[in-house]
Chains A and B, each alone.
Chain A
Amino acid sequence: MDISALFAALPGNVAQGIIWGIMALGVFFTFRILDFADLTVDGSFATGGAVAAMLITGGYSVPVALIAATVSGVAAGIVTGLLHTKLGIPGILASILTQISLYSINLNIMKGMANVAINGNKYNLIVSLRYIPQAILISAIFAVVIIIAAYWYFGTEQGSAVRATGSNPNMSQAQGININAMKVLTLGISNGVVALAGGLIAQYQGFADINMGRGAIVIGLAAVIIGEVVGHAIFGKRMNFMIKMVCVVCGGVIYYIVIGIVLWLRMPTNNLKLFTAIIVAIFLAVPYLKGKANNSFRKAAKRGGSN
């Protein structure tokens, strides 16, 4: 096997990793801050890509297309939030309902086509796999801006109320926080970021696809968890909120580098999703098993037996 091929693919993996890292920031807001497993993202990621692709090919400028993509994601998140808070549907189920309905909506956005190409020669795209250094730079700028904005927001009075809602909803209500509003708001913000990432990926790969969001939640979780584990190993207790978000984006990059290695090893690509799911399962299980290992009946029996 040619090691240079691996290195040649590396910049592309980094670019893709940063964009998926942005997507993972959206997942981070709901999964970690709000404590809400939001599967809407599989749909809203593709919605972002679809909206951006249709607007760009329709002659609109890239910024306009990306703003529209973000707004469409916000709307999707709000729908999940309202299904959950106003109609009493359990969070995870509410998000699945939105996700599945977005499949149809995305097809409608793309006028019934499963795939819409954005020709990089024809349109002035800001990220494209044809110019990877620029793609890395631009997506990194997006990531930095979003991280700074999120750092500011979650430090404000309102952002603190969101964090409190995720940490202890009972206490939040007793402190006069409208927890339902906070949930809807955060789901909107999260899916807005996810859809923005979808719009960036559509440009990067040169097309929007109806299935581009399939498994996005798992990739997002993988990035969040890898980022947290790596961040914890490097920074330990010094890991603050800002560093954590940077680590989440890095988690996306690490994930895509690993995928690059897997592809380079010529492992069957059909197994990629299986591989991703196993990674996420392992990382989610490790803290639990660690806790259990220190606090198990078997060990208790051994301790008792040694006396």
Chain B
Amino acid sequence: MMLQALNIEKTFNAGTINEKVALNGATLELEEGEFVTVIGGNGAGKSTFLNAVAGVWPVDGGSIIIDGEDVTGLNEYKRAKYLGRVFQDPMNGTAADMEIIENLALAARRGKKRGLGWGITKSEKEQYHELLKELDLGLEDRMTTKVGLLSGGQRQALTLLMATLQKPKVLLLDEHTAALDPKTAATVLEETDKIVTEHNLTTMMVTHNMRDAIAHGNRLIMMNEGKVILNIAGEEKKSLTIQDLLHKFEEVSGTEFTNDKAILS
């Protein structure tokens, strides 16, 4: 198993009027190379589940095991060495005031000791030039441009490259195309598929778009009220339709699916 998130519990604002049980025994186990898409209604706990794996805050219960190592007690920056992450907000995944190559160099050192050696080596520069060329966004000619000058789509593509520059044990994608226009979103998703397949990455992708959830990855889970209520893999996933999903959701949860974004998109 590459990722085991077992019985994860998390309550926000416990004991106050705003108390919110976000995760209520959520469990997910991923084999190496599995690419799971995560969908669910509003407030179902999709992003919270991802953040629990990433170690944004300590969980209230349950344990998280990455490639056999229990990381439940490791904070975000210590856990980072196992994880590649892309966020919903394109501003979040890169340092705007730093150059494209500086951002890549930072990502290349994820989980390693940052000493007093030079921040970017010469051989790295050549490597990044090649990798950026593969992205096909023309970024290879703008390597010393500040990332803040790039478009949202370019920044997401760069973040994706950064997340996988050093092969992560688990790649976490948190609605990483939600803030992009449909065309750019499609390009970034395409790039995602390419990178995930190429490196055989174990991946968790949260999305509100049912069509994307069905079209990408080799497994799909649906969450409701902080639990994984549906788990579809293999041949069943390949033949899945949105209607099937909505139907299954009603069957399992006994309520109607409520995520306007998901149904409308």
A contact residues vs B (CB 8 Å cutoff)? 153, 155-161, 163-164, 166-168, 170-179
Contacts and interface: CB of A to CB of B under 8 A. Distances in A.
B186 interface: no
Interface majority SS (helix, strand, loop, mixed), chain A: helix
B114 A174 contact: no
A178 to B, nearest CB: 5
B76 interface: yes
B180 interface: no
Contacts of A179: 77
A172 B95 CA distance: 8
B78 interface: yes
Task: Kindly name the residue among B77, B91, B118 whose own CB sees the greatest number of chain A CB atoms within 10 A.
Answer: B77
28 contacts: A156-B114, A157-B117, A158-B116, A159-B119, A160-B98, A160-B102, A160-B105, A161-B114, A163-B95, A163-B97, A163-B102, A167-B97, A167-B98, A168-B91, A171-B95, A172-B106, A173-B76, A173-B77, A174-B83, A174-B85, A174-B87, A174-B93, A176-B109, A176-B110, A176-B112, A177-B80, A177-B106, A178-B77
B203 interface: no
A157 B81 CA distance: 16
Contacts of B54: 174
Nearest to B80: A176
Contacts, number: 84
A174 B85 CA distance: 7
B107 interface: yes
B50 to A, nearest CB: 12
B207 to A, nearest CB: 19
A178 B75 CA distance: 10
A175 B85 CA distance: 9
A175 B110 contact: yes
Contact of A156 (B78, B119, B162): B119
A157 B95 contact: no
Contact of B92 (A155, A157, A168, A178): A168
Contact of B81 (A160, A161, A167, A176): A176
B116 to A, nearest CB: 5
Contacts of A158: 114-116
B96 A156 contact: no
A192 B20 CA distance: 46
B111 interface: yes
Interface in B41-78: 54, 76-78
Q: How large is the interface on B (under 10, 10 to 19, 20 to 34, 35 or more residues)?
A: 20 to 34
Nearest to B109: A157
A157 B54 CA distance: 23
Given A168-B92, A172-B95, A176-B110, A157 B77 contact: no
A156 B110 contact: no
A20 B227 CA distance: 60
Contacts of B87: 170, 174
Contacts of A177: 77, 80, 106, 114
A266 B91 CA distance: 51
A171 B102 CA distance: 13
Contacts of B114: 156-158, 160-161, 177
Task: Kindly name the residue among A158, A168, A172 whose own CB sees the greatest number of chain B CB atoms within 10 A.
Answer: A168
Interface in B142-198: 162
Given A158-B114, A168-B94, A173 B106 contact: no
Contacts of A176: 77-78, 80-81, 109-112
Contacts of B106: 160-161, 164, 172, 175, 177
Contacts of A163: 95, 97-98, 102
Contacts of B78: 176
Nearest to B81: A176
Task: Kindly name the residue among A171, A173, A177 whose own CB sees the greatest number of chain B CB atoms within 10 A.
Answer: A171
B198 to A, nearest CB: 21
Contact of B116 (A157, A167, A170, A175): A157
Nearest to B83: A174
Sorted from nearest, which 6 A-B pairs have the closest CB atoms?
Answer: A176-B80, A167-B95, A157-B114, A160-B119, A167-B97, A168-B95
Contacts of A166: 97
B60 to A, nearest CB: 21
Given A167-B95, A171-B92, 9 more contacts: A153-B116, A155-B119, A157-B118, A158-B116, A163-B97, A172-B77, A175-B106, A175-B109, A176-B111
A69 to B, nearest CB: 24
Task: Kindly name the residue among A156, A172, A173 whose own CB sees the greatest number of chain B CB atoms within 10 A.
Answer: A173
A172 to B, nearest CB: 7
Contacts of B117: 156-157
A163 B102 CA distance: 10
B35 to A, nearest CB: 20
B127 to A, nearest CB: 16
